[in-house]
């Protein structure tokens, strides 16, 4: 595991989130990509599906009034093999109205000689914190 590459990748993902562009975020995923959230599993089978689903999620943030000021606050890379790591990313949201908050997600990073990508994430904390504040978020 090349730790410098892994750390650069985490920061790049933070920059992609700051851009608010679905394609920039999807650039960081390998396919199929799997998301685990509170006992639910969702997948992006390919790039087109990732672009559409990520855009729909970003649009929901906009419709809810939260906006897209979501920042990478901190990260930690924990190698689990020569080519894999768990990346603990701490996010902060600064809503257009109201008080912000932070949460931690875990992403599975895979490195190869040709590149690196996230294979999965666990976002229980993100949705737990979000739904505690905005219980109707998924229906906006």
Question: How much is the pLDDT for 97?
Answer: 84
User: Among 79, 77, 80, which residue's Cα sits nearest to residue 88?
Assistant: 77
Question: How much is the pLDDT for 64?
Answer: 92
Domains contained in the chain, CATH given: 3-139 (3.10.450.50)
User: Among 27, 28, 25, 102, which residue's Cα sits nearest to residue 71?
Assistant: 102
59 token code pair: 């649009």
pLDDT tens readout for residues 9-53: 999 999 999 999 999 999 999 999 999 999 999 999 999 999 999
- Percent of the chain exceeding pLDDT 70 equals 100
In this prediction the pTM is 0.95
Contacts 24+ apart (CB under 8 A), 47-53: 50/22, 50/26, 51/22, 51/23, 51/26, 52/22
Question: How much is the pLDDT for 37?
Answer: 95
* Cβ neighbours for 79, distance < 8 A, ≥ 6 positions apart: 1, 3, 6, 85
SS3 16: helix
Reported as a pLDDT band with limits 50, 70 and 90, residue 96 is confident
The phi and psi torsions of 2 (rounded to 5 degrees) equal -85, 100
């Amino acid at each position: 595991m090349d730790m410098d590459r892994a750390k650069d990748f985490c920061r790049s993902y933070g920059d992609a989130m700051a851009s608010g562009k679905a394609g920039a975020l999807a650039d960081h995923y390998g396919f199929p990509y799997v998301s685990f959230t509170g006992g639910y599993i969702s997948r992006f089978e390919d790039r087109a599906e990732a672009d559409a689903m990520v855009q729909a999620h970003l649009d929901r943030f906009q419709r809810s009034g939260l906006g897209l000021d979501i920042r990478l606050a901190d990260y930690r890379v924990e190698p689990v093999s020569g080519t894999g790591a768990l990346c603990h990313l701490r996010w902060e949201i600064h809503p257009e109205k109201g008080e912000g908050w932070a949460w931690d997600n875990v992403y599975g990073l895979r490195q190869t000689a040709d590149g690196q990508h996230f294979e999965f994430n666990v976002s229980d904390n993100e949705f737990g914190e979000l739904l505690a504040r905005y219980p109707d978020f998924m229906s906006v």
